Structure 1
Amino acid sequence: MKKILSAAVALATAFVLAGCGGGGGGNASEVNPGGPVKARQISWLLSRPADGAVITVMKQLAGEYATSHPGFSLNLITTPDRPSYIQKYETLAAANKLPELFDTDATPYAQKLAKQGRMLDAGALLKSLGLYDTYRASALDYQRFDDGTLYTIPFEYQMEFFWYNKALFKQAGVTVPTSLDQIPAMCTALRKAGVTPIALDGQDQWPLERYVAYQPFRVAGPGYIQKLKKGDARFSDPAGQKAADWLSAMGSAKCFQSGFSAQGYSDAQNLFTSGKAAMYNIGTWELSSLATTALNPAVRSDVDYFTLPTTADSVTTANESVTSSGIGMAVNAKTFDPLVRDFLKFALTRYPAAYAATGALSPTTNVRTTIPANATPLYKKAVAQANDVGPKLAMPWDTQLDPTTNTRLQQELVLLAQGNTTPGSFTGTMDSAIAQNAPRFFTK
Structure 2
Amino acid sequence: MSKITTRTAFVAASLLTLGLAGCSSATSDADPTNVNPEGEIEAREISWLLSRPADGGVITAMEEIADEYAAEHPGFSLNLITTPDRPSYIQKYETLAAANQLPELFDTDATPFAQKLADKGQMVDVDLLLEDLGLADDYREAALTYQRFDDGSLYMVPFEFQIEMFWYNSAVFDAAGIDVPASLDDFPAMCEALSAQGVTPIALDGQDLWPLERYWAYYPFRMAGPEYVQQVKNGEATFSDPAGLASAEWLYSLGQAGCFQEGFSSTGYADAQALFTSGKAAVYNIGTWELANLATDSLDEAVRADVDYFTLPVIDGSVTEADEYVAPSGIGMAVNAETYDPLVRDFLAYALERYPEVYAATGALSPTSSVETTIPDNATDLYSKAVDQADEVGEETIMPWDTQLDAATNTRLQQELTLLVQGDITPDEFVETMDATLAENVGD
- Structure 1 length-normalised TM: 0.95
> Is the 8 Å Cα contact of residues 166 and 303 (structure 1) preserved in structure 2?
yes
Are 1:208 and 2:212 counterparts? yes
Tell me the distance in 1 between the aligned counterparts of 2:279 and 2:293: 14
Contact 1:10 1:404 in 2 (8 A): no
Alignment correspondent of 1:5: none
Contact 1:11 1:404 in 2 (8 A): no
Structure 1 residue runs of 4 or more that deviate by more than 4 Å after TM superposition: 9-12
Question: 1:6 aligns to what?
Answer: none
Cα distance in 1 for partners of 2:212, 2:350 equals: 39
Cα distance change on mapping 1:10 and 1:115 into 2, 3 Å: farther
Which residue of 2 is the match for residue 4 of structure 1?
Answer: none
Q: Is the 8 A contact 1:62 1:347 kept in 2?
A: yes
- In 2: Cα distance, 1:231 partner to 1:278 partner: 38
Deviation (angstroms), 1:171: 2.2
Aligned-pair distance for 1:50?
A: 1.1
Find the aligned partners of 1:198 and 1:165 in 2 and give their Cα distance. Answer: 11
1:192 aligned to 2:221? no
* Stretches of structure 1 lacking an aligned partner (at least 5 in a row): 1-8
Q: For residues 58-99 of structure 1, what are the alpha-carbon distances to aligned partners after superposition, in whole Å with 9 as ceiling and x for unaligned? A: 000000000110000000011111111111111111111111
Distance 1:37 1:375, change over 3 A: same
CA–CA separation in structure 1 for the residues paired with 2:234 and 2:156? 22
Q: Which residue of 1 aligns with 2:425?
A: 421
Matching residue within 16, 20, 26 for 1:21: 26
Q: Residue 271 of structure 2: SS of its match in structure 1?
A: helix
Deviation at 1:386, TM superposition (A): 1.1
Secondary structure of the structure 2 residue equivalent to 1:439:
coil
- Map 1:348-427 to 2 at 5 A: 348-427=352-431
Deviation string for 1:374-413 (max 9, x for gaps)? 0000000000001111111111111111111001100000
Structure 2 counterpart of 1:75: 79
The alpha-carbon deviation at position 21 of structure 1 amounts to 2.8
Which residue of structure 1 lines up, in the alignment, with residue 68 of structure 2?
64
Displacement after TM superposition at 1:16 (Å): 3.7
Aligned-residue sequence identity (percent) comes to 66
SS of residue paired to 2:163: strand
> How many residues are treated as equivalent by the alignment?
430
1:13 deviates by: 3.2
Which residue does the alignment assign to 2:12? none
Name the structure 1 match of 2:96: 92
State the one-letter code of the partner of 1:103: D
- 1:290 corresponds to which residue? 294
Query: Cα offset for 1:134?
Result: 0.7
Q: Write out per-residue CA displacement over residues 227-274 of structure 1, whole angstroms, 9 at most, x where no aligned residue.
A: 111121111111111100000000111111111111111111111111
In structure 2, what is the equivalent of residue 303 of structure 1? 307
**Aligned residue runs from structure 1 range 93-108, under 5 A:** 93-108=97-112
Amino acid at match of 2:290: E
Distance in 2, matches of 1:28 and 1:58, equals: 24
Match of 2:173 among 162, 169, 178: 169
Which residue identity lines up with residue 398 of structure 1 in the other structure?
D
Q: Distance in 2 between matches of 1:264 and 1:15?
A: 36
Contact 1:319 1:388 in 2 (8 A): yes
Provide the secondary structure at the position in 1 that maps to 2:443: helix
2:140 paired residue among 115, 133, 136: 136
Q: CA deviation at 1:25?
A: 5.1
1:342-378 CA-to-partner distances (Å, cap 9, x unmatched) read 0000010011011111111111111111111000000
Q: 1:120 aligns with which of 115, 121, 124?
A: 124
Provide the C-alpha distance between the structure 2 equivalents of 1:312 and 1:414, rounded to a whole number of angstroms. Answer: 26
Q: Deviations over 1:303-360 (max 9, x none)?
A: 1000000011101110000011110000000100000000000010011011111111
- Work out whether residues 66 and 73 of structure 1, in 8 Å CA contact, stay in contact via their aligned partners in 2: yes
Deviates more, 1:338-347 or 1:184-193: 184-193
In structure 1, how many angstroms separate the alpha carbons of the residues matched to 2:18 and 2:102? 18
Contact 2:47 2:78 in 1 (8 A): yes
Separation in 2 of the partners of 1:170 and 1:207?
A: 26
* Counterpart check, 1:241 vs 2:240: no
Residue from 253, 263, 269 that aligns with 2:257:
253
Backbone CA RMSD of aligned residues: 1.4
Output the CA distance in 2 between the equivalents of 1:131 and 1:93. 28
